[in-house]
Amino acid sequence: MIAVHGPVLVVILPLFGALVAALVRRPLLAWAVSLIAAIGSFVVAVALLVQVRAEGVVSYRIGGWAPEIGIEYRVDAVNGLILVLVTAIAVLTLVYARRSVLSEIIPERIAWFYAMLMLCLTGLLGMAVTGDAFNVFVFLEISSLSTYVLIALGRDRRALVAAYQYLIVGTIGATFYVIGVGLLYLATGTLNLGLIVERLPEIASPRALIAAEAFIVVGIALKLALFPLHAWLPNAYAYAPSSATVFLASTATKVAVYLLARYIFGVFGVHLGIGSVAIASVLIVLSLAAMFIASAAAVFQNDIKRLLAFSSVAQVGYITLGLALANQSGITGAFLHIVNHALMKGAAFMAVGAIIYRSGTCKLDELSGIGRTMPVTAAALTIAGLGLIGVPGTSGFISKYYLVLGAFEAGFWWVALLIVASSVIAVLYVGRMMEVIWFREPNQRCRGLGEAPAEMLAPMVVLAGMTIWFGLDAELPASLAGAAAHVLLGARP
């Protein structure tokens, strides 16, 4: 069953989880159903990745229709990795979510929360697994609409404004994407990504293609919060419920990055420029701007969730920089950082969620000395922070090492220099957190607090542990990311 129907099972398991969670309406039951569905999806995703590594591409036809007229699901080394990452984060988030959600969301809405979380997972997995340009749009909308609801469920009234802001921006992004897909369809007569690539060389006038590329790249860039289009992200992450933030920060932007990589390498080929400005150089400039400006903005935040959100914008900059370098090491670095950043940001937001669970606040100036009362949580936050800086021994170092290598290979030694320089800013914002939570005397609020419950600590420790593990022994993630980079570069027309 898994061997034949894997590509569709990985998507419909969370879909059924969402529907059953919405029907049962009991908080605990909805949580259990979601967890089972997510675990099932994770198992299928791992099986798919193993199958892909053994046999190459796995193709699946929905409804038995041929790719020309139907929808094809296509799993290769690139999206196989993304599927495993997203489902693994989903499982850990759900384990973590039960306690956190109970304290942050009113009981009547808890089942809806899980239904939306699972719908979001469905959408993200669908975007990753499908080989059909329009089907991507459908799943993009599924994940976006559920994300708006997830953010709006936050405990603060400002969550509604944040959700609305993201709704406007997200809708513009999705519209741009679908206009681009329309232009591609007009030029090639097919929506299947593989067939589009085959028919591209026959197109006489590249003007429609250039417009399509511009629309699609800008549309996806809004979703992945590429630097000047990132304004929705800090509020959305800051005011969403803690467990929703964990899930979104670790997965949503990552799937959008995957999509960007798929389009610029798999479909357009990175050298097809927009006018005289090659898309790669635009991406490099924007990525560098993200790394510096968003990191600098993070230094001045008082709300830890906002601080980490700005750091996310900066870290996405590293990933897109790796893609823009467009060589084996650069793209390997980008995909390594997709995985590593998901792990460490997941751990960091879980730690913040645990701090909110115990203390009710995530304002930095109210949390002095929290490390002495919640040592495990603070330690996880510290490890994640070190990973964000890229300290040797954490996974962040490995991905940055590959990025620097990629920059040298591409002949941009100054980019390599800037990668190192921007890490110094990360030292500032991580250092500020560390100083407050470890080195200050505990204040009144933090003195009486206990450590977070074990079921919240466990997934956090797993993610922090993997950040260390992948920093010391990077063979597994590096080989997976390397294979993904190989496929992307080989697929370039």
Partner 1 sequence: MRRDLVLRVASKFILPPIMLFALYVQFHGDYGPGGGFQAGVIAAAAIILYGLVNGLARAQKMVPQALLEVLMPSGVLIYAAVGVAGLMTGENYLGYDHLAHDAVHGQEWGVFLVEAGVFLTVFSSMIAIFYAFAGRRRS
Using CB under 8 A, list all residues that contact partner 1: 1, 5, 8, 12, 15-16, 18-20, 22-23, 25, 60-64, 115
Among candidate residues 79, 80, 61, the one with its CA nearest the CA of residue 71: 61
- Quote the least distance from Cβ 129 to partner 1, whole Å: 12
* 350 vs 265: CA distance, rounded Å: 34
Q: How many helices (H) and strands (E) does the chain have?
A: 21, 2
Structure tokens at 5: 């129907």
User: How many residues does this entry show for the chain?
Assistant: 493
**How would DSSP label each residue in 417-441?**
HHHHHHHHHHHHHHHHHHIIIIISP
**Nearer to partner 1 by C-beta: 115 or 380?**
115
Quick one: 23 or 454, whose CB is closer to partner 1? 23
Please report how close the Cβ of residue 122 comes to partner 1 at its closest, in angstroms.
Answer: 10
How far is it, in rounded angstroms, from Cα 246 to Cα 131?
Answer: 28
Q: For partner 1, which is the closer residue by CB, 20 or 348?
A: 20
* Residue partners of 191: CB distance under 8 A and separation at least 6: 132, 133, 134, 135, 181, 184, 185
Given the complex with partner 1, which of 85 and 136 has the nearer CB atom?
A: 136
Least separation in angstroms between CB 24 and partner 1:
10
Per-residue H/E/C for 264-307: HHHHHCCCCCECCECHHHHHHHHHHHHHHHHHHHHHCCCEHHHH
Q: How far is the CB of 7 from partner 1 (least distance, A)?
A: 9
Nearer to partner 1, 61 or 492 (CB): 61
Shortest Cβ 223–partner 1 spacing (Å): 24
CB-wise, 66 or 204, nearer to partner 1? Answer: 66
What type of residue sits at position 266?
A: G
Q: Give the whole-angstrom CA distance, residue 421 versus residue 433.
A: 20
| Cα 227–chain centre separation | 15
Closest distance to partner 1 from the beta carbon of 440 (Å) = 43
Residue whose CB is less far from partner 1, 142 or 221:
142
Q: How far is the CB of 108 from partner 1 (least distance, A)?
A: 11
Least distance to partner 1, CB of residue 62, Å: 5
- Identify the residue whose tokens are 């994940």: 143
Three-state DSSP at 18 gives helix
Q: How many CA atoms lie within 13 A of 430 on its CB side?
A: 25
- The minimum distance between CB 127 and partner 1, in angstroms, equals 17
Q: With respect to partner 1, which residue has the nearer C-beta, 7 or 173?
A: 7
Q: Which of 128, 132, 6 is nearest to 58 (CA)?
A: 6
Burial 348-360 (b: 16+ CB within 10 A, else e): bbbbbbbbbbbbe
CB nearer to partner 1: give 5 or 447: 5
Q: Which residues pair with 389 in a beta bridge?
A: none
CB of 14 to partner 1, least distance (A): 11
Amino acid (1-letter code) at residue 12: I
Rounded to a whole number of angstroms, the minimum distance from the CB of residue 9 to partner 1 is 8
Angle among Cα 281, 230, 484 to the nearest 5 degrees reads 55
To the nearest 10°, the Cα dihedral for 248, 249, 252, 255? -150
Query: Residue 122 or 377: which CB sits closer to partner 1?
Result: 122
Q: Which is nearer to partner 1, 145 or 464 (CB)?
A: 145
Phi, psi (degrees; rounded to nearest 5) at 45: -65, -40
Please state the closest distance from residue 11 (CB atom) to partner 1, in A: 9
* Radius of gyration for the alpha carbons in the chain, expressed in angstroms and rounded: 21
Measure the CA–CA gap between 338 and 323, rounded to whole angstroms: 11
The answer to whether 317 touches 283, Cβ cutoff 8 Å, is: no
Looking at beta carbons only, is 26 or 271 nearer to partner 1? Answer: 26
Q: Which of 45, 48, 143 is nearest to 86 (CA)?
A: 45
